[in-house]
Each structure stands twice: as C-alpha cells, then as structure tokens.
Structure 1
Amino acid sequence: MTQSAALHTLLDAAKAWHSALPALSEFVHWPQDLTYTERPPHALPHIAHLTAEPGVASAVSTPLRDAIITAAPYIEWRHTYTEEEVGRDFLNRFGWFELAGPDGHFITNEARLTVGFWGANLHYDWHQHEPEELYSVVSGHGQFMIEDQDTLTLGPEGTRLHLSNQPHALTTTDATILTFVLWRGAGLADPPRMSP
C-alpha cells in the first residue's frame, strides 16, 4: 500500500465518522478545500501500543479505528511537548497527527482534524489553545476534565467540547484511548500550551 492510498482510505473513514456523529457535523462542516500532500512518515514508540492495544471500539467507530491502525506506518506522527514537560513514559505511549489542517496530510484552512492516542494509565496535564475543540472517542476510554466542571468518563462515540483557551486535561486508567479531534476558529496552526 502507498502512503497516498492509506491516507485517502483513512480520510474516507474519517468523513464517514464525521457524518455519523451529529455533534461533529454540527461543530464544523467537512472541509471542501482538501488537498493531499506527501509527508515523510515519522514513527514514534507509541505505534507498537496502538497496534497491540487500540482499545474497544463501537460498530460505528471500528472502521475509523482500523483505518488509523492500517495507515499508522505511513503517518507523520508528532509530539507537541518535551520530556521536561510530560516525562519520557508519556512520550513513549503518546502520539498524534494532523490528518487535515494548515499543516496536515491534507491541507485545509477551514478546520483542523487530528488523531491522538494515549496508552493506559497516563495523565495529559492541564493545557489550552485558542481554537475551540471537540474531542470524539474512537476506541478505548478516558476521563475528560474541564476546570469547574464535572469529570466525564467517555468511551466510543462520546464527545467533549473545549472552548477557546479553556484549560482541560485527560486521564486514562485501565485502557488506552484513541481520539478524533476537531478544531475551529482562529489559531488553527498554533500548538496547544500547558496552562499556567
């Protein structure tokens, strides 16, 4: 399989997921200006965890989970944070990529569509960013925290909205979590930052 074939198959699965969950399609429309661009694959240690233990998916989310796993060797995986900020164990079992956006495998300025994976028993500390964000859980489960709001434990098809610059955090317990994340608004190309 070529990178182009793997990424286009993944894009189709993501579009179907976007259509299947009203919260996603209501949050942002599917970008109409998508342009594929070749990016060199960048492997990270978490791929072994993703492949071995991607987490339980629903009937609706299984096609997207499986498309992500199939495309994993062709993806430009990234880390946003340094070892000093999050620790080596976190970096070994975490990774994300931009499927579509200003700097993605598919270029668009209409939204940012990313995928993130966290291994079991990890804490993604308080952070924030200018764009509004909607998380959707593809497989596994995790605890989603927002300042001054109840913590929600979400599994496949669960969603959580984060407002602009609203501090939030994520914790996994006995399972991994694989997420599909949408950003909208100003600052799409900017990275998140740890909250003060």
Structure 2
Amino acid sequence: MKSLNDREIKQFFRQFSQSYDLIPYRVQNERPDTDLPDCHQCGHPALNRLCTAFINAYDKVAWGEGYSEQELGKTEKIGGWVPLATSDGPIAVNGALLALSVLNAHAHYPTHRHGPREMYVTVSGGFWFERIGKERVWVRPGEVVFTEPNELHALHNGNAATLMIACWVGGSYEKSEIVA
C-alpha cells in the first residue's frame, strides 16, 4: 500500500505525462448501471472535491463498460469507467490510460490480467484488492495500489460504491483477460 506522496507514484505519473499527444475524442457508451459514490467518505479535501465534481458531471460524460453480462457469466453490474486520457481522448495519450472508475456496491471485479502496469487511487469508498497467490488488502480513500504487467488480480467491493482513479502505463485500453 502506498500514499500519494510516495516516490514510486511520482515516477509513475512522470512516465504517464510523457505520453501526451493530440488525438480527437470519440464518445463511447451511455452511462452503464452504476451506483453513485459517497463523497463524504473521501477523507481528504482534494479527493472530496474530485468526487463532488464527478457526481455533478455523472450524466454528462462518456462512459465505458469493461465486460458484458455474457463475458462475466452473471447479471451483476460491476460498474463503469469514464475515460480522461486514452488514445481516443478526451486528453489523448499514447501507451497510457487515465480513467475515473466506479465499482458498484458489493461488486466483484473478476480475477484478470492485462499487459500494462496499473495503479488504482481510491477517491471514495473502499475495496479489497487481491494479488492472486500473494496478498489481499483493504484499500481506503487516498490509498494507492499497483499491479505489474500480466499480474493476476481481482477487486471485491464493500457496502458502498467506490470511486477510483485507474491509470495504465505501457499500453492503451485493452480488454483484460478474465481468468476463471
């Protein structure tokens, strides 16, 4: 578990910021069935402002949804994500992704892996982050966890929706491989 002041996190964002380019933005999907996060759980004024801004823009932004019900093998909606910086925009980057993600209350994001290195920054709510075969930790607002390329991991949400910042370095959006 790391804090936002950690040297590794600063290095991660430095690497991310070197990926900027200008590419026109393309709207993806309508808002999926997601829960609203509780901004009073943020624990930090900057995170509270980010959460409140997200709530205010909730129905006005382009949404992505990672998996269909058929791919998940269940009807549970795990949440959705709003792209901030991808190869398609709105801020165009090559080889990286930055998104605000909502994980619904009680949702289970299945065990999966992907090529890019990933970082989650929890804004509100909280979730169990599991590195398969290694550790399982509860991640609170303001806390940060990393996954390495192709590292198996899963997320298990608590009783409230979780708002997080998801950031990939070393590749743009790709559908993660779900591992049963």
Pairing partner for 1:172 from 157, 167, 171: 157
Matches within 5 A, 1:1-196: 21-23=4-6, 24-29=9-14, 31=17, 33=20, 35=22, 37-40=24-27, 42-47=29-34, 49-50=35-36, 53=38, 56-59=41-44, 60-86=46-72, 87-91=74-78, 94-109=79-94, 111-185=96-170, 187-195=171-179
Per the alignment, do residues 104 and 54 of structure 1 end up closer, same or farther by CA in structure 2, a change over 3 Å counting? farther
In 2, the alpha carbon distance for the partners of 1:74 and 1:35 equals: 22
Q: Which has the higher contact order (CA 8 A, sep 6+)?
A: 2
Residues 139-192 of structure 1 deviation map (CA, whole Å, 9 limit, x = unaligned): 00000000122211011011111000001000012122111011111x323221
Per the alignment, do residues 157 and 34 of structure 1 end up closer, same or farther by CA in structure 2, a change over 3 Å counting? farther
Task: Return 5+ residue gaps in structure 2 as ranges.
Answer: none
Bigger proportion of residues as helix: 1
Q: How many percent identity over aligned positions?
A: 26
The alpha-carbon deviation at position 36 of structure 1 amounts to: 7.4
The alpha-carbon deviation at position 64 of structure 1 amounts to: 1.3
In 1, the alpha carbon distance for the partners of 2:101 and 2:58 equals: 12
Once superposed, what is the RMSD of the aligned Cα atoms?
2.3
Task: Return 5+ residue gaps in structure 1 as ranges.
Answer: 1-19
The alpha-carbon deviation at position 194 of structure 1 amounts to: 0.7
